[in-house]
Amino acid sequence: MKIISHTNNKLLFFFYLLLVSVPAHVLGECTCDPEDGDRDKSKALKYKLAAIASILVASGIGVCLPMLGKTIHALSPERNVFFMIKAFAAGVILATGFIHVLPDAFENLTSPCLSETPWEFPFTGFVAMMSAILTLMVDAFATSYFQKSHFGGKSPAPASVGDEEKDGEHSEHVHVHTHATHGHSHGFVGDENSASSELLRHRVISQVLELGIVVHSVIIGISLGASESPKTITPLVAALTFHQFFEGMGLGGCIAQAKFKARAVTIMAIFFSLTTPVGIAIGIGISNVYKETSPTALIVEGIFNAASAGILIYMALVDLLAADFMSRKLQNNGRLQIGANVSLLLGAGCMSLLAKWA
């Protein structure tokens, strides 16, 4: 019995040492110093310049493609193909928020390079939640403001019951009787107000969505530009090129539905296309002083990534997917509904797959 007891004590002592030494060994391996083994400034710079060119072209093509509805009739917002393209792009944006941006924010704000106080608090989820709530508030207030300014300080008048019945019976045409002597017309005012309200919603959605995309695009651009490891940059170039192309399609679809004037469309498209390349250029400029493992860099990147993730997730689910999937056009067309769901899954799946490289 003494031998068994002595043996058990040895085993308990060994198990205790194992429990103590393994975490100490893991913590000892954790370092906040950047790895210098594969750094090559000149080679990395060539890859960065290639990244600027490829991402700029891909972003421009992606954001402009859905806006060619006037030239390419199949891409018109009224066509079924447009709904499927927009569902695919919404899946891309949703996966960007959940799979790419949010995990990076968690990694940044839970880094061992940060002190335990106050960073033991789950700031990533908190910031993402608050940014989603603030996006909802901005969405609601901006829509209310534009509606009141557009309709002269009054909310748009809803269609009457009679108008709704007429609209259901005569969905293919609208009767408008014009009296030249009085200079006014009588028609379905509810339909006109509804169309104006929907247009205003699309304009608010496109602007808020661009804000969320721009925030994380600049951050990933700075991260790529500041890196001096060709092994890190090479897969990022291809992944970010596809990333910006698909994300541009989502934004371009919203801009097309908003029916902005040509000048506003051009500004929004150029602004989106330049964000990641500008971020890369900034990263190149600060690469000598920028340390991705420094507490300041981790905190700033983590908070901005979390805020961007909250915006993107809210916009994808509420303003893009819910609005289209609950629309009358999609609800009344079974084939289009199946196609949109498949496109959504494909978009989310393709973007999730890119997380393997970026």
Among 27-36, 152-161, 191-200, which is the least confidently predicted range? 27-36
306 found inside a domain: yes
Under DSSP, is residue 294 helix (H, G, I), strand (E, B) or coil? coil
36 found inside a domain: no
Query: Mean pLDDT over residues 245-264, rounded?
Result: 87
Cis peptide before 118 (omega within 30 of 0): yes
Among 37-46, 47-56, 109-118, 134-143, which is the least confidently predicted range? 37-46
Under DSSP, is residue 186 helix (H, G, I), strand (E, B) or coil? strand
Interval 92-116: pLDDT, tens: 889 988 998 899 899 989 988 888 7
Q: For residue 1, name the pLDDT band (cuts at 50, 70, 90).
A: very low
From the number of C-beta atoms within 10 Å of its C-beta (0-12, 13-18, 19+), residue 8 rates as exposed
Q: What's the N-to-C CA distance of the chain in angstroms?
A: 59
Helices 123-150 and 295-314 meet at what angle, rounded to 10? 50
11 found inside a domain: no
183 found inside a domain: no
Interval 299-330: pLDDT, tens: 988 898 899 899 989 988 988 898 889 888 88
pTM of the shown model: 0.72
Helices (H), 227-325: 230-258, 262-285, 295-314, 323-325
Flag whether pLDDT at 264 surpasses 50: yes
Interval 162-214: pLDDT, tens: 444 444 444 444 444 444 444 444 444 455 666 777 888 888 888 888 888 88
**Domain tally, the chain:** 1
35 found inside a domain: no
**Helices and strands, number each (H, E), in the chain:** 14, 2
Q: For residue 129, name the pLDDT band (cuts at 50, 70, 90).
A: very high
Question: What is the extent of the structural domain holding 215?
Answer: 42-149+195-356
Closest CA to 238 of 47, 94, 93: 47
